[in-house]
Amino acid sequence: GAVVSQHPSRVICKSGTSVKIECRSLDFQATTMFWYRQFPKQSLMLMATSNEGSKATYEQGVEKDKFLINHASLTLSTLTVTSAHPEDSSFYICSARDNTASKTQYFGPGTRLLVL
Amino acid sequence: RKEVEQDPGPFNVPEGATVAFNCTYSNSASQSFFWYRQDCRKEPKLLMSVYSSGNEDGRFTAQLNRASQYISLLIRDSKLSDSATYLCVVILGFGNEKLTFGTGTRLTIIP
């Protein structure tokens, strides 16, 4: 089946630093990727839709200047959490939508971010 | 009202029993429906799509009731490995392919 990877899987950083998370579709092309955040015991919340070669579309309440998204190729999208604070600690999950007719979304394994 | 609502549980069910979950959605125009399972500290994985006519995959049966705006998941002969959180997912469609997740229903199968 299709595989999506995320890197890093876990990161601990100091407050005020920036953290970059990569999402890669390993065996298919994805014009569209999605970034989600999940706090403990809550559902996944879509943060933004990342489109290759164009600006990301952010959901209401998500600061685009704080969560920078770059989708430079058909297999890679990055999310940078700038000036991270403890409240940004969460489980960040990406998904990549297959460009074929099925348009199935495949999830990455997630990145657990802890900001001290 | 939340877009997608689920009973969070937990459901503690003995091995071999049958268990069913429901999920309601608020937008009557929603087009696509899915059940995902999420294991602790892992990403969601697609369990099955939900079709208007209902569909079955082994021990799992999913049904859609558009009139009442709910979908259901039935698990028969439950196994210990079925312990997970089950997420109801809805896609509006019509060009909006965003997945909207419910909060999930936690299931624990007891030996």
Q: Which of B32, B107, B30, B28 is nearest to B68 (CA)?
A: B28
Pick from B4, B43, B104: which is nearest to A110 by CB? B43
Residue A53 confidence class, pLDDT cut points 50, 70, 90: confident
pLDDT on residue A72: 84
pLDDT band at A102 (very low <50, low <70, confident <90, very high): low
Mean pLDDT of B15-37: 94
Judged by a CB distance cut-off of 8 A, whether residue B101 touches chain A is yes
Measured between beta carbons, the chain A residues lying within 8 angstroms of B8 are 41
Query: Quick one: pLDDT at residue A1?
Result: 64
The SS3 of residue B3 is: coil
Q: State the amino acid at position B32 in one-letter form.
A: S
B35-93: pLDDT as tens digits: 999 998 899 998 999 988 889 999 999 999 999 999 999 999 999 999 999 999 999 87
Query: Helix, strand or coil for residue A94?
Result: strand
Residues A49-65 have a mean pLDDT of 92
Nearest CA in chain A to B96: A49
3-class secondary structure for A21-51?
EEEEECCCCCCEEEEEEECCCCCCEEEEEEE
Q: What is the mean pLDDT of residues A17-41?
A: 93
Once rounded to an integer, what is the mean pLDDT over residues A98-116?
87
Please state, for a pLDDT cut of 90, what percent of chain A lies above it.
Answer: 75
Instruction: Check CB contact under 8 Å for B43 and A43.
Output: no
For residues A46-75, average pLDDT: 92
Determine the residue type at A43: S
- Residue B111 confidence (pLDDT) above 90: yes
- Asked whether the predicted pLDDT for residue A86 surpasses 90, the reply is yes
Mean pLDDT to the nearest integer, B17-44: 93
Residues of A in contact with B100 (CB under 8 A): 46
Let me know how many helices (H) and strands (E) chain A has, helices first. Answer: 0, 11
User: Distance (Å, rounded) from C-alpha A7 to C-alpha A109?
Assistant: 9
pLDDT at A35: 96
- Chain A contact set for B42 (CB, 8 A): 109-110
Asked if residue B104 lies in contact with residue B6, where contact means CB atoms within 8 angstroms, the answer is yes
**8 Å CB contact between A6 and A111:** yes
Please tell me the predicted confidence (pLDDT) of residue B96.
Answer: 75
Omega cis (within 30) before A8: yes
- Taking the Cβ of residue B43 and every Cβ of chain A, the question of whether any pair is shorter than 8 Å is answered with yes
